[in-house]
């Protein structure tokens, strides 16, 4: 197991927060704080904030992402946004299959796969989210479920394309609850995801894939979480809305080698 084979990615997921003007202000505040980061720094923002975010992040090391993408190229899908539309805005990343979308908007393992394929085809880097509910964990299905979700999400994704894919292990019970997985639980969950990739693509490929942890990651617990061998950064919700907290998380990941 060699952490230097993959890059750490710290990505904020703003969810349904921030207006365009608030976006500009927050990114301007963040830029100097993360300027010397030794990891990839990404902010995934609501669709309407993308233009402001791209403009504010110009010339900095902050990359911008979206929070969702539709799987069809175009057509009668009112309210949806295609991968080509996103690509043209200048975003580099897109969150796919977040548990909130699975829970509230009917996202399935199949649509997560289709959205991931559409993102890859357009030249975007999907951050694919997987994770078990508390009930699934208590029933002992965490490993089975994480492996299944990972393999389903990556159906028809080639080893070459996998180079542009990030997976985020986000236990549903740890999201927005203040209950963080322990560093060992995060490492174990990420390890199941890596094992699934190894089963599908081989161990050498699996060693190179960035696998984040997400779920109540914050300035206080980030260093311990990212110290784990399988934890290659994080997908941050609430703490990514605060410049100081987010920059501490970026620093923690930068100091990991
Ligand atoms: P919180 O960091 O607010 O728990 O959210 C995590 C998350 O869902 C990131 O995608």
Query: Residue of the nearest CA to atom 5 in ligand 1?
Result: 237
Query: Residue of the nearest CA to atom 2 in ligand 1?
Result: 237
Within 6 Å (CB) of ligand 1, which residues are found? 13, 98, 170, 175-176, 214-217, 235-239
| Tens digit of each residue's pLDDT (9 = 90 or more) over 113-142 | 999 999 999 999 999 999 999 999 999 999
DSSP codes, 164-227: T-EEEE--GGGSSSS-PPPHHHHHHHHHHHHHHHHHHH-HHHHHT-EEEEESS--TTTHHHHHT
| pTM of the entire predicted model | 0.98
| Cα of 236 from ligand 1 centre, angstroms | 5
* 70 given a catalytic annotation: no
Q: What is the pLDDT of residue 120?
A: 98
Q: What is the pLDDT of residue 257?
A: 60
Beta bridge partners of 63: 42
| Tens digit of each residue's pLDDT (9 = 90 or more) over 227-246 | 999 999 999 999 999 999 99
Q: Which of 5-9, 47-51, 54-58, 118-122 has the lowest mean pLDDT?
A: 5-9
Q: Is the pLDDT of residue 176 over 90?
A: no
Q: What is the pLDDT of residue 2?
A: 77
- Quickly state the pLDDT bin for 179 (edges 50, 70, 90): confident
* 40 given a catalytic annotation: no
How far, in Å, CA of 16 to CA of 18, rounded?
Answer: 7
| Tens digit of each residue's pLDDT (9 = 90 or more) over 23-53 | 999 999 999 999 999 999 999 999 999 999 9
Q: Is the pLDDT of residue 221 over 90?
A: yes
Query: Residue of the nearest CA to atom 1 in ligand 1?
Result: 237
How far, in Å, CA of 111 to CA of 139, rounded?
Answer: 25
Q: Tell me the pLDDT of the chain averaged across its residues.
A: 97
Q: Which of 104, 213, 215, when mutated, tests ligand 1's pocket best, judged by the most ligand atoms within 8 Å of its CB? A: 215
* Catalytic, out of 40, 67, 70, 98: 98
- Quickly state the pLDDT bin for 198 (edges 50, 70, 90): very high
| Cα of 237 from ligand 1 centre, angstroms | 3
How far, in Å, CA of 39 to CA of 232, rounded?
Answer: 10
Q: What is the pLDDT of residue 4?
A: 85
How far, in Å, CA of 247 to CA of 17, rounded?
Answer: 18
Q: CATH 3.20.19.10: does it fit domain 68-233? A: no
Percentage of the chain with pLDDT > 70? 99
Buried b (16+ CB within 10 A) or exposed e, 160-197: eebeebbbbbbbbbbbeeeebbebebbbbbbbbbbbbb
Q: Is the pLDDT of residue 1 over 80?
A: no
Percentage of the chain with pLDDT > 90? 95
Q: Is the pLDDT of residue 211 over 80?
A: yes
Q: Is the pLDDT of residue 3 over 90?
A: no
Q: Identify the residue whose tokens are 């964990």.
A: 137
Helix 142-153 vs helix 183-201: crossing angle, to nearest 10: 50
- Quickly state the pLDDT bin for 108 (edges 50, 70, 90): very high
Atom of ligand 1 nearest to the CA of 177: 4
How far, in Å, CA of 142 to CA of 145, rounded?
Answer: 5
Q: Is the pLDDT of residue 184 over 90?
A: yes
């Amino acid at each position: 197991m060699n952490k230097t084979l993959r890059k750490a990615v710290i990505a904020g997921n703003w969810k349904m927060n921030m207006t365009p003007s608030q976006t500009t202000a927050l990114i301007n505040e963040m830029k100097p704080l993360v300027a010397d980061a030794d990891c990839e720094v990404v902010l995934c923002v609501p669709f309407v904030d993308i233009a402001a975010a791209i403009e504010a992040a110009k010339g900095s090391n902050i990359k911008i992402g979206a929070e969702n993408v539709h799987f069809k190229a175009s057509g009668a899908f009112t309210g949806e946004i295609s991968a080509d539309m996103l690509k043209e805005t200048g975003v580099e990343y897109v969150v796919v299959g977040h548990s909130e979308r699975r829970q509230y908007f009917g996202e399935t393992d199949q649509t997560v796969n289709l959205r991931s394929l559409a993102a890859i085809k357009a030249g975007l880097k999907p951050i694919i989210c997987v994770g078990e509910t508390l009930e699934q964990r208590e029933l002992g299905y965490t490993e089975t479920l994480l492996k299944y979700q990972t393999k389903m999400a990556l159906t028809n994704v080639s080893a070459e394309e996998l180079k542009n894919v990030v997976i985020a292990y986000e236990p549903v019970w740890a999201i927005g609850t203040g209950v963080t997985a322990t560093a060992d639980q995060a490492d174990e969950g990420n390890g199941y995801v890596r094992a699934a990739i190894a089963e599908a693509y081989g161990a050498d490929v699996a060693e190179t894939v960035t696998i984040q942890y997400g779920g109540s990651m914050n300035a206080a617990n980030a260093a311990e979480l990212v110290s784990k061998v399988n934890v290659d950064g994080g997908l941050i919700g609430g703490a990514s809305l605060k410049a100081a907290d987010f920059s501490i998380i970026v620093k923690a990941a930068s100091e990991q080698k």
